[in-house]
Amino acid sequence: DVIISVAAVSENMDYCYRNGTVDEVLYIQSGEGKFISNFGNLHVKSGDYIVIPRGVIWQINPTDTVRMLVIESAGPVETPNRYRNRFGQLLEHSPFCERDIQLPELQNPITNKNECLVKVKTQKGIQEYTYSHHPCDVIGWDGYYFPWSISIHDFEPIVGSIHQPPPVHQTFQANGFVICSFVPRLFDFHPGAIPAPYPHSNIDSDEIIYYSKGEFMSRQGIQEESITLHPMGLPHGPQPGKYQSSIGKKHTDELAVMIDTFKPLHVTEAALGIDEANYPLSWMD
């Protein structure tokens, strides 16, 4: 259903790229640049989710190293069903709305006759095509299929007097997983509320959290760009001291992206190579 990775793009791509089999979401952690595609360009900045349907030809040219979380989805990436009406419009209780969506801006066609390399990702690897012209030689397009972006900073948090369950953070749905945004927000405001989340066993999903910014309320020893994986079935909760220290806190400035997958994830060898072996011990006093 999903492949999750990270990337740091420090140089202009001297080729174009096209994912032929899956949709992609790029969460921009830091840096700035331009996303160029055959449907037009998007400005790339920290906090953006760039949603790229399969088949779009694109490249990223950074002005400042772009660090990102990359989510590849076998199914289409959509806004959650429960926030949409039967026409597909976002409803009033949705934490974001259509005006938060950035559309690609079509630029003048690139008409030079230089050859252009397009790397196409297939099920089996990368296939290289050499175009005799630039694929962005487009003067217009029509339809509902295009790359778009939305900023995590435009996600309006849903808060309550007692702890709100994870679905309030949901931003996208896809086949087999969801993407959620934890954003700066007021904590639970009942006088007896304990803002830290309750212990749970997440028997329905593997939980990946990518820590983007700020101090996370339930975890210690976490830095920006840390990634945690809590496999399904394992009971877990806030670390020792986090319950007590959360009492009386009024707000959080945390920023994180969570991916809950409905089937177990496989950990790659590359990921094992950067594993923090002591993480499971962080629940001990």
C-alpha torsion sign, points 72, 73, 77, 83: negative
Report the residue number, 23 or 207, with the smaller CB distance to Fe ion: 207
**Would you count residue 188 as binding Fe ion (CB under 5 A)?**
no
Map the footprint of Fe ion across residues 243-262, applying CB under 5 A.
none
Report the residue number, 203 or 281, with the smaller CB distance to Fe ion: 203
| Nearest distance in Å: CB 230, Fe ion | 5
Q: What are the C-alpha distances in Å from 179 to residues 9, 47, 72, 110, 262?
A: 23, 14, 12, 35, 12
| Nearest distance in Å: CB 153, Fe ion | 24
Report the residue number, 171 or 228, with the smaller CB distance to Fe ion: 228
Report the residue number, 117 or 162, with the smaller CB distance to Fe ion: 162
Considering only 36-44, 112-120, 181-189, 204-212, which stretch makes contact with Fe ion by CB under 5 A? 204-212
Output the six-digit token pair for 1.
Answer: 């259903």
Among 24, 154, 188, 207, binds Fe ion (CB under 5 A): 207
Q: Chain-centre distance of CA 216, in angstroms?
A: 17
Report the residue number, 19 or 261, with the smaller CB distance to Fe ion: 261
Contacts of 270 (CB under 8 A, 6+ apart): none
| Nearest distance in Å: CB 228, Fe ion | 9
Q: Give the H or E element holding residue 270.
A: helix 269-273
Q: Are 184 and 253 in contact (CB under 8 A)?
A: yes
| Nearest distance in Å: CB 207, Fe ion | 5
Considering only 1-9, 133-141, 182-190, 206-214, which stretch makes contact with Fe ion by CB under 5 A? 206-214
Q: Are 220 and 244 in contact (CB under 8 A)?
A: no
| Nearest distance in Å: CB 205, Fe ion | 9
Q: Give the H or E element holding residue 243.
A: helix 242-246
| Nearest distance in Å: CB 180, Fe ion | 11
Size of the site for Fe ion (CB under 5 A): 1
Map the footprint of Fe ion across residues 123-142, applying CB under 5 A.
none
C-alpha torsion sign, points 78, 81, 87, 89: negative
DSSP character string of 57-82: EEEEEEEEEEEEEEEEESS--B--GG
Report the residue number, 116 or 208, with the smaller CB distance to Fe ion: 208
Closest residue by Cα to residue 133 from 145, 118, 147 = 118
| Nearest distance in Å: CB 21, Fe ion | 30
Residues that bind Fe ion (CB under 5 A): 207
